[in-house]
Amino acid sequence: MSGVEEKEVIKGMLREPSAPEILKHRRRDAEFLGFLTRPGWRGELPYYRFKCTIHGYVENYPQGYDEALLCPHCD
Task: Please give the model's pTM, rounded to 2 decimal places.
Answer: 0.67
| Residues 7, 17: Cα–Cα separation, whole Å | 18
| Residues 38, 74: Cα–Cα separation, whole Å | 21
Going by the DSSP 8-state scheme, the letter that residue 54 receives in this structure is T
Number of CB atoms found within 10 A of residue 43's CB? 6
Tell me the per-residue pLDDT of 3-13, one tens digit each, with 9 for 90 and over: 444 554 455 56
Domains of the chain, residue spans: 3-60
Tell me the per-residue pLDDT of 30-65, one tens digit each, with 9 for 90 and over: 888 888 888 888 888 888 889 899 999 999 988 899
